[in-house]
């Protein structure tokens, strides 16, 4: 049984940043998943599963509340007007009821902003797909969780068998007894919100002060034992933080320049073993092969437009779910931005170079300090923090993300899930290509900005060809 997840009353600074920057619609951070089912799920079982999941995951019944002065990060509070019927909807499949039609339904859903006065998620069941199938579209705000956290949050909806599973009571933090339902504070007035925010921030500052004092003592000890090493460590940390937060003025791509809120979605799948084998040829992983395939596709797309590029700027989330962070809800990743090779034609050589660059990014000493850095940005006025973060993200050419899923088939209320397709947010970039591994297959979802990529069908073909090229090299 996986360890229980802890839910804080307030957002972390990293979560709060994803919430604040949506003053700029181009920086929206909406996660969308599309599931293809072999049949419609049993309605009564699905209703019971949804209700149990909402009871077990506090965030699904909570809305965001900010104090009037913005002293502390936003607070999570139970929505006193919560209604399941608003968040869960059923619609009929349009057109010829193909998978493409399912994605056409998902596109406007992905583009729409959330109602900020309600919990930040939606679930749409699409009935009547071809061959008696059905679809499910899940939409979640990034302030709630990252992709890995979303997998954990939706575990209550999936089963290992088409047959009903016996009901199991949630466990407490020690795994001993039933988990008591979390009680969220009652709605407060402006004065209560402000007082609580000041109290929270004062307590946190005290804790940070103690941590800083401890770090200072450790630093002084290191300085006494090895002055040169201590100074070098401090300089490396400062340089790492500067690289993580450095603003950039424009994309590296000469053609993927426009930015808008008009999205296109596409998906394709490939055998997981093919990417594993390709990654192993250079001592790397599935992720190395995946990124090399995407960069190869980027090269093909630019060449198709008569443009030659050697490098493009990529954002890749680095998972920080280890140690104490493994049990925390919310976002536990660092959005590393760095140039990746595009002009290297040989797929193995490109994989080797990507392997080296990704390893370098994962070793950045400032990665564990993400929440501190996010807090520094959050302390700016909201308009200024939006501009600051926007300067970091809008010049990113593309995003890649790799989320592990179940290695075996799973079901939803009697229906087998055939495909679990991920669509990550653009967050200011031209495209997001996300890989989700499920039952021996990688499902790859592409989100692209229509202003940056006006010919999405050609772009999709190029990305697929790039991935196939890497698999063939394996």
Active site members: 142
Q: 192 is written with which tokens? A: 């209560």
Comparing C-alpha atoms, which of 125, 152, 116 is closest to residue 45? Answer: 125
For residues 344 and 292, the answer to whether their CB atoms sit within 8 Å is no
From residue 110, how far is each of 14, 95, 107, 263, 336 by CA, in Å? Answer: 22, 19, 5, 8, 24
User: Where would I find the H helices in 269-366?
Assistant: 272-280, 286-304, 347-362
d(CA 250, CA 218): 41
Comparing C-alpha atoms, which of 132, 87, 127, 134 is closest to residue 109? Answer: 87
Q: Label residues 76-88 b or e (16+ Cβ within 10 Å = b).
A: bbbbeeeeeeebb
Q: 208 is written with which tokens? A: 């940070």
Rounded to the nearest angstrom, the gap between the alpha carbon of residue 414 and the centroid of all alpha carbons in its chain is 28
Q: Label residues 297-329 b or e (16+ Cβ within 10 Å = b).
A: bbbbbbeeeeeebebbbbbbbebbeeeeeeebb
| DSSP letter for each residue of 14-62 | HHHHHHHGGGSGGG--EEEEEEEESSPPPHHHHHHHHHHHHHH-GGGGE
């Amino acid at each position: 049984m996986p360890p229980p997840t802890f839910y804080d009353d307030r957002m972390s600074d990293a979560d709060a940043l994803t919430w604040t920057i949506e003053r700029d619609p181009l920086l929206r951070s909406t996660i969308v998943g599309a599931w293809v089912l072999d049949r419609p799920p049993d309605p009564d079982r699905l209703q019971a599963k949804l209700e149990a999941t909402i009871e077990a995951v506090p965030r699904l019944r909570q809305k965001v509340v900010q104090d009037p002065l913005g002293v502390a990060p936003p607070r999570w509070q139970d929505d006193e007007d919560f209604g399941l019927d608003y968040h869960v909807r059923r619609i009929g499949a349009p057109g010829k009821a193909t998978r493409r039609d399912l994605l056409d339904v998902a596109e406007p859903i992905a583009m729409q902003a959330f109602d900020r006065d309600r919990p930040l998620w939606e679930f749409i069941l699409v009935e009547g797909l071809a061959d008696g199938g059905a679809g499910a579209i899940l939409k979640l705000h990034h302030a709630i969780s990252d992709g890995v956290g979303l997998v954990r949050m939706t575990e209550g909806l999936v089963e290992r068998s088409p047959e009903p599973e016996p009901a199991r009571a949630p466990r407490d933090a020690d795994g001993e007894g039933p988990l008591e339902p979390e009680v969220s504070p009652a709605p407060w007035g402006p004065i209560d919100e402000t007082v609580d925010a000041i109290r929270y921030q004062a307590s946190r500052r005290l804790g940070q002060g103690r941590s800083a004092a401890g770090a200072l003592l450790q630093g002084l000890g290191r300085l006494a034992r090895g002055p040169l090493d201590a100074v070098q460590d401090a300089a490396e940390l400062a340089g790492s933080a500067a690289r993580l937060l450095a603003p950039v003025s424009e994309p590296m791509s000469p053609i993927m320049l426009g930015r808008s809120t008009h999205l296109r979605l596409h998906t394709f799948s490939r055998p997981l073993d093919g990417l594993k084998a390709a990654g192993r040829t250079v001592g790397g992983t599935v992720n190395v092969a995946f990124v090399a395939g995407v960069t190869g596709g980027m090269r093909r797309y630019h060449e198709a437009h008569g443009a030659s590029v050697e490098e493009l700027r990529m954002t890749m989330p680095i998972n920080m779910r280890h140690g104490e962070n493994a049990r925390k809800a919310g976002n536990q990743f660092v959005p590393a931005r760095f140039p990746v090779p595009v002009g290297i034609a040989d797929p193995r050589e490109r994989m080797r170079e990507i392997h080296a660059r990704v390893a370098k990014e994962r070793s950045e000493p400032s990665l564990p300090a993400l929440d501190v850095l996010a807090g520094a940005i959050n302390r700016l006025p909201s308009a200024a923090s939006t501009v600051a973060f926007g300067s970091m993200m809008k010049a990113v050419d593309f995003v890649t993300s790799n989320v592990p899923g179940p290695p075996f088939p799973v079901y939803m209320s009697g229906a087998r899930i055939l495909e679990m397709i991920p669509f990550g947010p653009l967050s200011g970039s031209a495209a997001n290509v996300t890989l989700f591994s499920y039952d021996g297959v990688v499902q790859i979802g592409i989100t692209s900005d229509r202003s940056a990529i006006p010919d999405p069908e050609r772009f999709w073909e190029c990305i697929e060809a790039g991935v196939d090229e890497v698999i063939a090299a394996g």
